[in-house]
Structure 1
Amino acid sequence: MQQPVLFVDVDGVISLFGFEADAPPPGRFQLVDGIPHYLSATAGEHLRRLSSQFETVWCTGWEEKAPEHLPHALGLLDAYPHLTFARSPRQAHAHWKIGAIDAYAGARPLAWIDDAHDDECGAWARAREQAGAPTLLVTTDPATGIAAAHVEALTAWAARL
């Protein structure tokens, strides 16, 4: 069986926000096209661990900027492809990332880590599951991003496939 696909958002997963200014999580600021982003100190380690069980794909509004800036900043060994987003008229009421995720993954098993899953995402994931396509949504807190507990949940889910 092919590896499941792991779709990774950046803002709220790797680039953190919403934390208390006097108590930031471990990380550092980095400029990306002149915009400061607070990158999680542990995100790179988490993604390296997940890459043995998943085909990892950037799923972010950063689009081509993610593979351009993040591998070096996070110490990633692999270059991940990225999705390009276009609003699909047939999915006018769906979350703006779902069309591109569907086009890339097809019926393959997939996990999607993001800080902005909504009710539409949950309904879409349930419909995929009912159609026989294993789907896992992992929602992060944008102030802390991807954490060890998320990695454990993802690796356990992938092992059960």
Structure 2
Amino acid sequence: MRPLLLLDVDGVLNPFRRPTPDFRRYECKVGEEVYTVHLNPRHGTRLLELALVTGAELVWATTWEQHANEWIGPRIGLPELPVIPMGPDQGGSYGEMFKTPHVAAYVERRPFVWFDDQVWLEDEEYLRGTQGLDDFLLIHVDPREGLTSRHLAQAHEWLTLSGFSRGS
């Protein structure tokens, strides 16, 4: 089974702290709302490289849902990606984030790495205990700094050492 690389936007690709000079500012209009995002075009290249060398599939796991393909992906050089539908927030029963049950339903039994600024121990416990999933890595991204080389290396190492990488 081809592993998945799940991507959040806000706090991961769009950090909350004043961005460094390698980020560019964009205004995105979704419905009647206008959002300011700061994106690093190198993220797209780095994520595509990670997917290529590990044989993984990139997937949006964000409340931006399909809007990520319209507003985020093209600005960082990503093609249109599959989107995990988030549906309504039904509240967590184990302290997990509202996105976690949607992610569990989408991945089924596929191995995955999830980059998100809101994944915690409760999400891991929910996925392992409630859903019975074993082959995944949750990478908590500090929302002030966003995705870094360290996070990408961590995903690469896990996919490779776990035997999910194309080259293993």
TM range (shorter): 0.7 to 0.9
Q: Which residue in 2 is equivalent to 1:116?
A: 118
State the distance in 2 between where 1:90 and 1:115 align: 18
Q: Which residue in 1 is equivalent to 2:25?
A: 29
In structure 1, stretches of 5+ residues that fail to align are none
Alignment of 1:67-78 (within 5 A): 67-76=69-78, 78=79
In structure 2, stretches of 5+ residues that fail to align are 164-168
Does the CA contact (< 8 Å) of 1:128 and 1:134 recur in 2?
no
Question: In 2 relative to 1, CA 99–55 (structure 1 residues): closer, same or farther, beyond 3 Å?
Answer: same
Q: What CA RMSD, in Å, does the superposition of the two structures yield over aligned residues? A: 2.2
Give the structure-1-normalised TM-score.
0.84
State the distance in 1 between where 2:26 and 2:89 align: 33
1:98 aligns with 2:89: no
SS state at 1:51 partner:
helix
Q: CA deviation at 1:90?
A: 9.3
Q: CA deviation at 1:46?
A: 2.0
Q: How many residues align?
A: 154
SS state at 1:79 partner:
coil
For 2:45, the aligned partner's letter is: E
Q: Which residue in 1 is equivalent to 2:166?
A: none
State the distance in 2 between where 1:111 and 1:72 align: 22
Give the structure-2-normalised TM-score.
0.81
Larger deviation, residues 24-33 vs 90-99:
90-99
Q: Percent identity?
A: 27
SS state at 2:75 partner:
helix
Does the CA contact (< 8 Å) of 1:46 and 1:146 recur in 2?
no
State the distance in 2 between where 1:28 and 1:80 align: 21
